[in-house]
Structure 1
């Protein structure tokens, strides 16, 4: 029985997952090792402990050996946009600075004075966000750039540490805002603005490319199986969308629900026009040369941070039960407001927002949770309407995958607000997309259609239909966002 290891690393935690196909052909998924992750302040920057992440990956791979796995493949997915710079000897130059560091706070304004933001979007089709790689490189220390001989995004760097092969996987590379939609290559004008040579970037590879063998001799303290490393769809959302079991003959949208909510559709061509620019939609690369036309929405980050502010004494399940007891739609909140990107205290940030907009201030854990869930559902519904307008495709359903799909209360609120049937699951979409890409690369699965069919058989979804008796003030919410008006409902 073939074995596949999916290394799935998010902003707060990571896992090494073992996947195989059982006697019935269904995909199985078993957690071998889980570990914490997070950006910490070192000196003047918030940085990732990439050396620590590498050790955790090796710990998980060694665990596979303990369970009798002597040969397997491995793929790594992480968040997007962050990178490591390497010198001429292939050694890392300084830390991997995190996208939540505030060094790029004014980067968009500064860049716009040199190269119009609208033109950047027209070239790249990528949503304008201050932490995109483009803006990080704009604010990079000149001395580090001058020394750098190569740049690798985080999963590419981890692959390099394991195999010695430098390569940039295409789906993750697409998020950098450095790739021209028309040429499908680095945009020379943008590189010129950054004063960066094309030579800084290693070869680009498609998801499913076999990179090589894990060099076990470099890690003598770990008892490792024989591992073939594959460049899977290494942006976690690309893997999650691959594991979204939408029907090929239907117009379905997806919502990858985790720290961020990524809402969009899978398209054969990019959509980069003034309307999509105004709506701040992005065109990220997907498997089989598709585009993930989506929008970043501040998702479970909001409730995660509220939980942290309560010292983790209230579980997410308890937040849901407390929220159910509170009145619906007591306030409107723009969940993507910059005040919520990296506040010192999310509870205070939410309360200050409501004070500023002259609304009822949530104080109890239940009121705070209800405000978050209500406004996430309203935001999803608004964006689904806009998505239909931008794509010209009437949507038939919304597929929610990832950890956030376990929140059945929010799933039902979203179905009510959007008027669409919501399919929830699989929970482990990113890890499953990771191992599915490995199965596709090795011939275990024939194509994406078969992969999604097998996935649906392996992990049945839960269905939420709109409840017509539930009043949803979507029009009032949209007016609030447009005009800043307070609508009492």
Structure 2
């Protein structure tokens, strides 16, 4: 059986994971080869990613793999979305890579939409408005630097380029730029013109499953790396995670890819870019094999990650969940998607301030803060599921939670109870499994997406959470509605 290597890099960590199809062809076996931390840093008032460090860690992971006996493999790379790299005509970076949480785009949407309406942009692209979308990032970027850019690629495209010397714009990540036209399935010329950009400043759009080529021979020799064939996988980590959802084709299902962000949606064969979808702020990101991810961004586990960071990692995530279990439920609630939680100086103080300004007592312990986050996320998931069913005009019977949040038993059960829906949790490694599954399909070891999902379902234990009666939910929902209204009136 072949060796498959997934490079999976998120906003807080990255790793290289080796996968192999078991002899019985019923499951994928995973082995983590290398793990490293990731974060943006602040320099002169702006936040940047260190992409040279990320590249070096990929090389380090491949060196470890060779020492463990991997002499040949295929390799696919996924990362977060929306952030980009400017390259000059010699393939060198023109500027450091801005992190999407940087505050420079705060007023960019309002400024850009003086030239073109929000409805027109949504009709063309189907992408939800987020202040950090690449469209707005490029709008505020230094025009002289943009004019010098020979190519503009996304972060995973750049890492592929560093490994192979070949440029591309992979479609699942490119779609998050809010620059691709749904009808033409290419970059939208009018939007590019608004930014002062040209189509030739972007590489060819490339679909998942394409074999890109081998490692640069010089790179392989210099660092003593395995022989690697690079396969283009869904480079947006959510797109890979959705491939990794162990869904049954005959069931009506939705998913939450639960990590730093919670991405809640359904898989569709056609986009849904109606006015109602725009007003609900749902997006149509391109997926693998001609699909669309019709989903909503929810702030997600970023909030608890920040609480943990502020305590100098004094608690594990499991310990934070255990502290939350001991607290009385639904005493403190905050609207998770309010912009105040995007990148606050102190997440704990922002939560307390929000509670105070919405007429609640302030959570004064770590356990109460954690409980506030998990309760608020569950209610936000419930709201979004109701929206989703209304917009798609289909009943959803099962909610799959994949990613790191699948391990949070409290949040999974809260979600089942609040939304009154069956929740299937797992795999937590959905992104790596989806990444590797696309490589396996490309090499012919798996025959397609349906077989891949069946194999993934057999690769890990899945936990089912059945909805329980939720006494007092009507009162909780009424209070939740009031809290959201108060925040809406202030914003």
Unaligned 5+ runs, structure 2? none
Query: TM-score by structure 1 length?
Result: 0.97
Residue of structure 1 in register with 2:311 after alignment: 310
Provide Cα deviations, 1:318-343, integer angstroms capped at 9, x if missing partner: 11111111111113310001110000
Does the CA-based 8 Å contact 1:178-1:190 persist in structure 2? yes
Residue of structure 1 in register with 2:3 after alignment: 3
The range that moved more, 61-70 or 36-45, is 36-45
Offset at 1:24? 1.9
Residue of structure 2 in register with 1:81 after alignment: 82
Offset at 1:45? 2.2
Does the CA-based 8 Å contact 1:263-1:296 persist in structure 2? yes
Q: Distance in 2 between matches of 1:36 and 1:221?
A: 24
Offset at 1:294? 0.2
* 1:244-263 paired onto structure 2 within 5 Å: 244-263=245-264
- Residue 139 (structure 2) pairs with residue 174 (structure 1): no
Offset at 1:22? 1.9
Offset at 1:312? 1.1
Q: Distance in 2 between matches of 1:144 and 1:202?
A: 18
Unaligned 5+ runs, structure 1? none
Query: TM-score by structure 2 length?
Result: 0.97
Secondary structure of 1:377's counterpart equals: helix
Does the CA-based 8 Å contact 1:178-1:186 persist in structure 2? yes
Does the CA-based 8 Å contact 1:332-1:480 persist in structure 2? no
Residue of structure 1 in register with 2:230 after alignment: 229
Task: Note closer, same or farther for the CA distance 1:318–1:231 as it changes in structure 2 (3 Å cut).
Answer: same
Offset at 1:437? 0.7
Residue of structure 2 in register with 1:425 after alignment: 426
Does the CA-based 8 Å contact 1:7-1:17 persist in structure 2? yes
Offset at 1:250? 1.2
Secondary structure of 1:127's counterpart equals: coil
Offset at 1:395? 0.4
* 1:332-347 paired onto structure 2 within 5 Å: 332-347=333-348
Does the CA-based 8 Å contact 1:402-1:430 persist in structure 2? yes
Task: Note closer, same or farther for the CA distance 1:482–1:38 as it changes in structure 2 (3 Å cut).
Answer: closer
Residue of structure 2 in register with 1:55 after alignment: 56
Q: Distance in 2 between matches of 1:153 and 1:44?
A: 23
Residue of structure 1 in register with 2:21 after alignment: 21
Q: Distance in 1 between matches of 2:360 and 2:469?
A: 27
Provide Cα deviations, 1:4-34, integer angstroms capped at 9, x if missing partner: 0000000111000000012222200110000
Residue of structure 2 in register with 1:137 after alignment: 138
Task: Note closer, same or farther for the CA distance 1:275–1:34 as it changes in structure 2 (3 Å cut).
Answer: same
Q: Distance in 2 between matches of 1:29 and 1:245?
A: 16
Does the CA-based 8 Å contact 1:156-1:169 persist in structure 2? yes
Q: Distance in 2 between matches of 1:89 and 1:482?
A: 50
* 1:76-475 paired onto structure 2 within 5 Å: 76-218=77-219, 220-473=221-474, 475=477
Does the CA-based 8 Å contact 2:220-2:227 persist in structure 1? no
Q: Distance in 2 between matches of 1:443 and 1:144?
A: 43
Offset at 1:461? 0.9
Offset at 1:217? 1.3
Secondary structure of 2:121's counterpart equals: helix
Q: Distance in 2 between matches of 1:27 and 1:199?
A: 40
Q: Distance in 2 between matches of 1:128 and 1:434?
A: 27
Q: Distance in 2 between matches of 1:85 and 1:219?
A: 25
Secondary structure of 2:56's counterpart equals: helix
Offset at 1:181? 1.0
Provide Cα deviations, 1:381-412, integer angstroms capped at 9, x if missing partner: 11001100000110001000001110001100
Task: Note closer, same or farther for the CA distance 1:378–1:46 as it changes in structure 2 (3 Å cut).
Answer: same
Secondary structure of 1:136's counterpart equals: helix
Secondary structure of 2:473's counterpart equals: coil
Picking from 465, 483, 486, the partner of 1:484 is 486
Provide Cα deviations, 1:150-189, integer angstroms capped at 9, x if missing partner: 0110000000000000011111111110011111111111
Offset at 1:265? 0.3
Does the CA-based 8 Å contact 1:258-1:299 persist in structure 2? yes
Secondary structure of 2:166's counterpart equals: coil
Task: Note closer, same or farther for the CA distance 1:377–1:477 as it changes in structure 2 (3 Å cut).
Answer: farther
Secondary structure of 1:114's counterpart equals: coil
Q: Distance in 1 between matches of 2:130 and 2:434?
A: 25
Task: Note closer, same or farther for the CA distance 1:316–1:470 as it changes in structure 2 (3 Å cut).
Answer: farther
Does the CA-based 8 Å contact 1:171-1:234 persist in structure 2? yes
Q: Give the root-mean-square deviation of aligned CA atoms.
A: 1.3
Does the CA-based 8 Å contact 1:382-1:478 persist in structure 2? no
Offset at 1:44? 3.8
Q: Distance in 2 between matches of 1:428 and 1:377?
A: 21
Q: Distance in 1 between matches of 2:252 and 2:275?
A: 23
